[in-house]
Chain A
Amino acid sequence: MTSATVPAVSAGKPSIRPGRVVLYVVLTIGALLMITPFVWMVLTAFKSDLEIMKFSWLPGELRWRNFVEAMQTAPFLRYFRNSLIIAVGETAFTLAVCTTAGYALAKLPIRGSKALLSYFILLLLVPFQIILVPLFLIVKSIPLFGGNNILGQGGIGWLNSWWGLIIPLGAAPLFTFLARQFYVSIPSELAQAARVDGLGEFGIFWRIMTPLVKPALITICVFQIEAAWNGFLWPLMITTSDSMRPLQLGLAIFAQNPAEVQWPYLMAGTALATLPMIVMFVFAQKRFVEGMANVGIKG
């Protein structure tokens, strides 16, 4: 910070500079602060009931059966399966709706496509919590579902159903916008060539252009899976039966029940809920980071 610091361009850097050491120390402490809670979670998941009575780091023995017993105390496996259904369903729905819309906005001569793009960007700014209450009413009044008549009255509509869990939160405008940004970067000449060869407009979209944006599709998948897997408030509102609950909701209810808070079990359940996203992040790290950074810069 002082003017005495050696400018970066000057040659002959000494091998160890105090600034560097401080930098590494600060970053390492920071990184440890980020990771420690997870280490603490995993260590707790292996402890016995006696060991968690007082503060200690390491468990005396690794009690693997905590994981088995946790799953017997709460139906974590069913919650896990439900989360998987929601994540896969939402991702498939998002891919279908958002790639088509993104392509149309990027490549097809629709009148007012610029205004439509602004429309989707504007919708990006609507926080989910704002529309919570009416969204619930709309989902409850979907016609001809859950005992509703054609006017959407009388039954529960999409409440407590996979439809209600998957459809309203899929196809967020963010993904339409992202898909469009990716299609824009593919040269239109490819579509022209296919047109000359007699391929229809939908064929051009599906067989020529979409295979070229595969990396983008993966980005959208990773983002959507993460969002769906981590969702909490919406399932909390619209599910009433335990059999539909996703993992996060099951976890929260497990944590809330004072009779059931057995910390090793709770931490085992939490580890189960956390692990898939961390594994996905480690594998898709580069894509995830690029995607996030791009959203920031273009948004």
Chain B
Amino acid sequence: MSATLEHPTSRVTEPRKVAPAKDGRKLIRSQVRTGWLLLSPALLHSAIFIVVPVIAVLALSLTDYSFGDSWSWVGFGNYSELFRDVDFQASLVNTVLYAIVVIPLSMAISLAIAIGLNQKIRAIGFFRTAFYIPTVTATVAIATIWLWIYNPGSGLANGFLGLFGFAPNQWLAEPGTALPSLMVVGIWQGLGTKIIIYLAALQGVSRDLLESADLDGANRWQKFRNVTWPALGPVQFFVLITSIVGTFQVFDLVYVMTRGGPGTETRVLVLDIYQNAFQDLKLGYASAETVIMMILIALFIGVGRLLQKADVND
């Protein structure tokens, strides 16, 4: 990435040298003016709608603000209250569980499919479309479709398993199967993006290296382990980060399919934040929860980074 970023800055200073000194300065000044003018809407927008909220969430988390006029600083009171809150504990556990199941599985499956699609095969367009369509479809639509698939009475899941003589299951209503059922949908929907990114990366793997590995008599596994896998490094990390951020954000799916039930079996962090903030109107409390989610995401990314480093070094 840095290579592409260095590029333009060295180029934009060039006009200084070409044009005569006085005119040149005037020209540069008008360019700079236009530059700031063109940039200001984006800077203003990002400041108001991203930077200020990020700072505000940190500040709000130390208050008991709840839409009213009066509020006070409560320090870390929200945080200590959170860790006694059973709903929060359940959503924390479920979100982490969801992440540690969904992320590795979806990465492994999509890498395997991408490797398959990277061979010279027919109907590549069909396969690519098939794997990508769930990704472009709205999560709410996905959730309603799967709600119907998991329908205990006449849904596809029970109907299909019934063909093999399995007893019908209450997929989303059963404590044991509710979260796994959501995980299946999460993995299923997220494959497309990862496959496309892996596929693009696989096409960038050095042909020369693969061929020289062939000449050295390397088998497929050795070629994969020693040539392809290391070449995928940076892309792996990108896929990992986006997967972490994505799985921690899971909301639409849960909201439509289970509303966190049965009990608190599928309660996740964003659902808990949403309910605390917009149903119980505890904005300070919900902000503290958000800060914890931020720390968790950072922690996960940190661990991912360490794993990747360990993989490169070994």
Residues of A within 8 A of B (CB): 1-3, 5, 7-9, 23-24, 26-27, 30-38, 40-41, 44, 52-56, 96-98, 100-101, 103-111, 113-114, 116-117, 119-120, 123, 125-138, 167-168, 170-171, 173, 176, 181, 184, 188, 192, 195, 200-202, 205, 226, 229-230, 232-233, 236-237, 248-249, 251-252, 255-256, 263, 266-267, 270, 273-274, 277-278, 280-282, 285, 288-289, 292-299
Contact = CB atoms under 8 A, between A and B. Distances in A.
A8 B215 CA distance: 11
B221 interface: yes
Contacts of A52: 154
B277 A133 contact: yes
30 contacts: A7-B214, A23-B116, A26-B116, A31-B131, A37-B134, A54-B153, A98-B42, A100-B42, A107-B8, A108-B12, A111-B32, A113-B35, A120-B42, A129-B251, A129-B293, A130-B293, A132-B273, A133-B53, A135-B49, A176-B42, A201-B31, A230-B139, A232-B251, A248-B141, A249-B140, A255-B147, A278-B136, A292-B193, A296-B239, A297-B238
Given A104-B39, A110-B32, A251-B141, 17 more contacts: A3-B219, A40-B145, A55-B156, A105-B39, A109-B15, A127-B245, A131-B49, A138-B48, A188-B12, A236-B255, A252-B255, A266-B144, A273-B141, A282-B129, A285-B125, A293-B197, A297-B201
Nearest to B284: A133
Interface residues of B, number: 114
A23 B214 contact: no
Contact of B9 (A38, A114, A299): A114
Contact of A55 (B4, B154, B235, B245): B154
A192 B15 contact: yes
Given A201-B34, A273-B138, A55 B158 contact: yes
Contacts of A293: 196-197, 199-200
Contacts, number: 316
B309 interface: no
Interface of B: 1, 4-5, 7-9, 11-16, 18, 27-28, 30-39, 41-43, 45-46, 48-54, 56-57, 60, 113, 116-117, 119, 121, 125-134, 136-149, 151, 153-156, 158-159, 162, 188, 191, 193, 196-197, 199-201, 204, 211, 214, 219-221, 235, 238-239, 241, 245, 248-249, 251-252, 255-256, 270, 273-274, 277-278, 283, 286-287, 290, 293-294, 297
Nearest to A271: B141
B116 A255 contact: no
**3 nearest CB pairs, A to B:** A55-B159, A293-B200, A108-B35
A297 B202 CA distance: 11
Contacts of B12: 107-109, 113, 188
Contact of A255 (B15, B39, B251, B256): B256
Given A7-B214, A8-B214, A281 B148 contact: no
A44 B256 CA distance: 19
- Main SS of chain A's interface residues? helix
A294 B1 CA distance: 11
A270 B143 CA distance: 10
Contacts of B151: 263
Given A131-B50, A133-B283, A255-B147, A109 B35 contact: yes
A27 B113 contact: yes
A30 B30 CA distance: 57
A55 B255 contact: no
- Main SS of chain B's interface residues? helix
A271 B261 CA distance: 26
Contact of B138 (A35, A37, A229, A288): A229
A192 B12 CA distance: 11
A274 B11 CA distance: 45
A9 B204 contact: no
Nearest to A297: B200
Contact of B39 (A26, A110, A173): A110
A36 B16 CA distance: 61
A97 B256 CA distance: 34
A55 B274 CA distance: 36
B121 A298 contact: no
Given A40-B145, A103-B38, A273-B140, A128 B249 contact: yes
B201 A296 contact: yes
A195 B32 CA distance: 14
Contacts of B126: 31
B262 to A, nearest CB: 16
A100 B4 contact: no
Nearest to A107: B12
Nearest to A168: B49
A55 B15 CA distance: 72
A103 B54 CA distance: 26
Contact of B270 (A33, A129, A205): A129
